[in-house]
Amino acid sequence: MPSWAPSSSRGNELSRVEAPVTIRGYLLCVFAAFGGILFGYDSGYISGVLAMNFFKQEFGRKRYSANAGAVDNPDAYNGFIYDTWQKSLITSILSAGTFFGALFAGSLADWVGRRSTIISGCVVFSAGVVLQVASTTVGMLVPGRLVAGVGVGFVSAVIILYMSEIAPKAVRGAIVSGYQFCITIGLLLAAVVDQSMHKDMTSRSYRIPMAIQFLWALILGIGLFFLPESPRYYVKKDRFNDAARSLSILRGQHVDSVYVREEVDELIASHRYEMENTHPGWGNCFRGSIWDSASNLRRVLLGVALQMMQQWTGVNFIFYYGTTFFQHVGVKNAFLIAMITTAVNVLSTPISFWTIEKFGRRTLLIYGAIGMAMCEFLIAIVGAATHANSHTSTASGYVLIIFTCIYIFFFASTWGPAAWVVIGEVFPLPIRAKGVALSTASNWLWNFVIGQITPYMVDKGYADMGTNVFFVWGSTCALCIAFAYFFVPETKGLSLEQVDRMLHETTPRTSAKWVPHTTYANAVSRDDSEKTAAQAAEHQDSTV
Ligand code: BGC
């Protein structure tokens, strides 16, 4: 079996805790990233469907005469349009479903297992898709999106947990970044499918984009049947033989090999240590001091805030409202530009597969936020200067387009993947499923909030900020720099158990220099031998 040595492991003297990475093991772990397609496609397809003429006619009502429609409401088709509240409900109900789905999955993943939760997520999701495809009214489409959202919530929260737990430490960052890559592919596929169906004037125009969602659920659900359950879940359930069997499949080693035995020993010792300090309930996610970077409360706040800040980078302003915004500020060919930004998103993400292991999560987050903030301030300043001179210049249009693309490049190669990678790594096993679930729910909550408030920031009749909105995103990105610098620890090259120990022994700013100096299993056996020696000495004393 081909194998390649971990390149970014810290503390090589302890790298024996894990077997060398094999191509087969790598591919097994990478398959789960496919769940990202579900996430990306589902959040992406609806904006195109809402813009389809047949959809407007079928789901909307006639509010204008056919001719007046174009004048009174340029969005209406033949006078048909849905109400604004319906549009907002159809779009945002998915985030509501995912928010609750993610939270519920946090309990389910500890109860029935990570793999089974993702598979049930695919089943729930498919039920939602049936409702969507069958719908001809908003009243039926909304419950369909809600149910599908719950399924996406299961999948999006637990995939990160599952991937982080099964991946070898040297490539864990790259493997979890693969999930972000799939999100970007999902977004692109949605744009392409919408684009190719939007002229069709039958129900196929919206039913095909909706029905395609089945395919993603089917591939993910069936594929996962062939993957093993997370060994860390088995350890949590005291099923050590199952944990060893699962690890032997994932690492491509015999179940009795020294690698498998040592890794299982380490998982068990670390879990026992953590269980002495933490219990698995939801309440324990909020225990401990906010000043202690290893406390559960601090780790949960880190995960929740990291996902919140990822949304505050402003990325979805481009993906959700990019087309209308570009049109609004006078850029010609806004649809084309939107396709270009989506393509830049896909093409830039793979860079992180290498950089996340080479430079680390923390470095990527700090420099990525600096890059994004610079682009956003530049767009805002050039926009404001052009506006002050009261002429629309082609130059400012180019600045907007070019720096939006560079901004997306920075997001896709840094905050996009790294925010997901870090939340999979910072929680101790007893609360890991719940911590990842809370962080994912935060992503969806802020996704929803920002999606709701953004139109009021840019629309005519409201704040109508134009390119000045980039002053807001530039400032929030500046906060992201400070957040990453002060609060995000460096986790690259460490096993999840070593991350746990590192958090106990360092602060975020000193974390990158930390190297593992002992394993939990060694510490336990040292404790045991110290205890035995003390008991022997006591025994000797009492017999003297
Ligand atoms: C974010 C999404 C965003 C996507 C863009 C993800 O990491 O969580 O909100 O739409 O990246 O690629």
In sequence order, what DSSP letters do the residues of 53-96 get, joined into one string? Answer: HHHHHHHSEE-S-HHHHHHH-TT-BTTEE--HHHHHHHHHHHHH
Q: Is 180 in the pocket of ligand 1 (CB under 6 A)?
A: yes
Q: Which atom of ligand 1 lies at the shortest distance from residue 320's CA?
A: 10
Q: What integer is the mean pLDDT of 405-430?
A: 96
- What is the structure's pLDDT at 532? 53
- Ligand 1 atom 12: residue of nearest CA: 184
d(CA 491, CA 217): 31
Q: Is 443 in the pocket of ligand 1 (CB under 6 A)?
A: yes
Sign, CA torsion 317/321/322/327: negative
Least confident of 108-117, 166-175, 248-257, 390-399: 390-399
SS3 string, 360-427, reads CHHHHHHHHHHHHHHHHHHHHHHHHHHHHCCCCCHHHHHHHHHHHHHHHHHHHHCHHHHHHHHHHHCC
d(CA 350, CA 345): 10
d(CA 506, CA 426): 13
- Burial of residue 461 (CB within 10 Å: 0-12, 13-18, 19+) is exposed
21: β partners: 4
Q: Is 164 in the pocket of ligand 1 (CB under 6 A)?
A: no
Q: Which atom of ligand 1 lies at the shortest distance from residue 183's CA?
A: 12
Tokens of 349: 């993400």
Prediction pTM value: 0.86
Q: Is 95 in the pocket of ligand 1 (CB under 6 A)?
A: no
Of 308, 315, 361, 440, the residue with max ligand 1 atoms within 8 A of its CB, to mutate for a pocket test, comes to 315
- The amino acid present at 235, given as its one-letter code, is V
Mean per-residue pLDDT of the chain = 86
Least confident of 217-231, 364-378, 453-467, 490-504: 453-467
Of 47, 183, 408, 444, the residue with max ligand 1 atoms within 8 A of its CB, to mutate for a pocket test, comes to 183
Sign, CA torsion 10/272/103/123: positive
d(CA 499, CA 503): 6
Q: Measure the CA angle with vertex 334, ends 332 and 338; round to 5°.
A: 150
Q: Is 345 in the pocket of ligand 1 (CB under 6 A)?
A: yes
- Burial of residue 51 (CB within 10 Å: 0-12, 13-18, 19+) is middle
192 or 47: which leads in pLDDT:
192
Q: Is 183 in the pocket of ligand 1 (CB under 6 A)?
A: yes
Q: Which atom of ligand 1 lies at the shortest distance from residue 345's CA?
A: 12
CB 303 within 8 A of CB 427: yes
Least confident of 40-54, 115-129, 170-184, 201-215: 40-54
- What is the structure's pLDDT at 76? 78
74 or 55: which leads in pLDDT:
55
- Ligand 1 atom 11: residue of nearest CA: 416
Interval between CA 166 and ligand 1 midpoint (Å)? 23
Interval between CA 495 and ligand 1 midpoint (Å)? 26
Indicate the pLDDT class of residue 72, thresholds 50, 70 and 90: low
Q: What integer is the mean pLDDT of 342-360?
A: 96
Interval between CA 450 and ligand 1 midpoint (Å)? 13
Interval between CA 345 and ligand 1 midpoint (Å)? 10
Q: What integer is the mean pLDDT of 360-379?
A: 97
Q: Is 313 in the pocket of ligand 1 (CB under 6 A)?
A: no
Q: Is 117 in the pocket of ligand 1 (CB under 6 A)?
A: no
- What is the structure's pLDDT at 541? 54
Tokens of 299: 């780790």
Sign, CA torsion 300/305/311/313: negative
Ramachandran assignment for 288, one of left (phi > 0), alpha (psi -120 to 50 degrees), beta (any other): left
Indicate the pLDDT class of residue 537, thresholds 50, 70 and 90: low
312, pLDDT greater than 80:
yes
Interval between CA 490 and ligand 1 midpoint (Å)? 22
d(CA 54, CA 56): 5
Interval between CA 225 and ligand 1 midpoint (Å)? 27
Report the percentage of the chain scoring pLDDT > 70: 88
d(CA 117, CA 115): 5
CA 185 to chain centre: 14
Interval between CA 440 and ligand 1 midpoint (Å)? 12
5, pLDDT greater than 60:
no
> Domains plus CATH for the chain?
19-227+288-513 (1.20.1250.20), 231-280 (no CATH)
- What is the structure's pLDDT at 544? 42
536 or 32: which leads in pLDDT:
32
Q: Which atom of ligand 1 lies at the shortest distance from residue 420's CA?
A: 7
Tokens of 76: 């209406």
